[in-house]
Structure 1
Amino acid sequence: DVVVPIEYDSKGRQAKSYLPVPQSGTANGAIYTNPLANAPSAGYGSEKIYTEKRYDDLFTGRVSEVVPAGTAWSQKPANMTYGINADGEVKKYKVTTSWLEGRTDSSISLVASYAGGQLMKTSATDPDGNTTTEFQNGKGQTILVRKNDGTQ
């Protein structure tokens, strides 16, 4: 059997996700009461074998930090920040498509910029310092994903 343990915090949110832990035999579908006891002999040794989610104190279900599996990687968590867009930070484009003489003709034009506070902004910084910022409208649709490789 192979078991993938999951731990929840006191508020019922997923706090830790473990790597798969092979068991020494089979329990024929029964629940293992201590599946992590076999982790050292399964090849993991003393390595940290779980990813941990830390949640925002203000908003119950919002993740503020993700600590990856692996003893070395756990020293470099990914951080999340939340906010709204600034005025002019995200441009709005319009695509026009038409059928002309047996072919498709398309054009793109700048319509305007989104007004400040119109979009939700989520930024994630990975262990290498790269930032990904995602903007979503009020319907939860992704409008823009901006990635930075840490050089600018």
Structure 2
Amino acid sequence: MKTFIPAAIIIAVACIALASCEWLFGNKPKSIANTHTINGTWQIKSMADSSANARNTTPMLAAAFSNNDTLPVSISFNIDSTFTISSKNDSIYNKGIYYVDTAKQTIFIKEDSLYTPYSIKQWSDTAVQLYTAKDSITYTLIKQ
């Protein structure tokens, strides 16, 4: 009986050590949330329409470009899940709410009463490309 207790303790410690090593140092899936953040101010560099004859009805960003094409338009994503679209002279075009679904690699932006999905096509520390199937538009945003 005296040798049974120390042997059981040694086996238990070995099992815990092996389990914790896998838990601490095992392969972890990479997600967008761990590598990039949308928070901050982004300049809207370009918009590209991938459909030949589509009418763009997205009010969020299309309206911002139609107001004054000469001013750079920026979008600020805040930590509290709000965003603001404004021009260089701080004229605010639109405000709203957003959230990021890292599993779907999508940013959902609330327009009117509905959330519009913007698929993340490419994302680096300094740029992001968002695509909306609703209007077949790809937006390129550059971090400021």
Higher relative contact order, structure no. (Cα contacts within 8 Å, ≥ 6 residues apart): 2
Q: Which has the higher helix share?
A: 2
TM-score (structure 1 length as normaliser): 0.26
TM-score (structure 2 length as normaliser): 0.27
